[in-house]
């Protein structure tokens, strides 16, 4: 099997690094101006830490708001810890970066969405299943010559 560059995972890693840098800046200097964050994360992630009543109420995902009141923001390499207020009850959370599904700062219309990543083993198994289902007729179609591309002038579409 040939090796390829996994641009999707590289982009996700870079975007999570951006989140870490933003949160580190907020930890050091506070939230500037009207900035605030909506962070949706996978509550079932094995490294996520939240109160039992929160994980019972939000078994799949949860969105937290980091705006007026937060405490104990501790930014690490793999995730961040923060205490947020839930109905006048402060609750500590630990959110791994790879559990984050969306990160939005509506004050500047900025947002990141992370597509669900499948493991490499699942990808290989799906590829093998697809190859097993490919029959000779499909292979013959794939071997037909490709027609030359037609060049179209855009001038004919302009008004």
Q: What local confidence, expressed as pLDDT, does residue 153 receive?
A: 45
Q: What is the 3-state secondary structure (H, E, C) of 95-120?
A: EEHHHEEEEEEHHHCEEEECCCCCCH
Nearest-angstrom CA–CA distance, 20 and 77: 8
User: Domain residue spans in the chain?
Assistant: 7-113
Q: What tokens were used for 91? A: 């609750």
Nearest-angstrom CA–CA distance, 158 and 28: 53
Q: Tens of pLDDT along 66-107?
A: 998 889 999 999 999 999 988 888 999 999 999 999 999 998
Assigned CATH class of 7-113: mainly beta
Q: What is the pTM of this model?
A: 0.69
Nearest-angstrom CA–CA distance, 39 and 41: 6
Name the E strands within the chain: 37-42, 61-66, 70-75, 79-85, 90-96, 100-105, 110-113
Q: Tens of pLDDT along 108-119?
A: 988 999 887 554
């Amino acid at each position: 099997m040939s090796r390829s560059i996994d641009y999707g995972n590289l982009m996700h890693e870079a975007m999570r690094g951006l989140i870490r840098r933003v949160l580190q800046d907020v930890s050091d200097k506070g939230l500037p101006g009207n900035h605030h964050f909506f962070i949706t994360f996978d509550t079932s992630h094995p490294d996520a830490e939240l109160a039992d009543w929160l994980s019972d109420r939000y078994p799949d995902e949860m969105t937290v708001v980091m705006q007026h009141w937060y405490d104990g923001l501790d930014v690490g390499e793999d995730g961040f810890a923060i205490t947020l207020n839930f109905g006048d009850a402060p609750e500590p959370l630990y959110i791994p970066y790879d559990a984050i599904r969306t990160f939005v700062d509506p004050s500047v219309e900025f947002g990141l969405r992370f597509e669900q990543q499948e493991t490499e083993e699942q990808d290989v198994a799906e590829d093998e299943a697809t190859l097993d289902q490919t029959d000779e007729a499909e292979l013959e179609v794939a071997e037909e010559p490709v027609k030359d591309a037609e060049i179209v002038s855009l001038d004919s579409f302009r008004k």
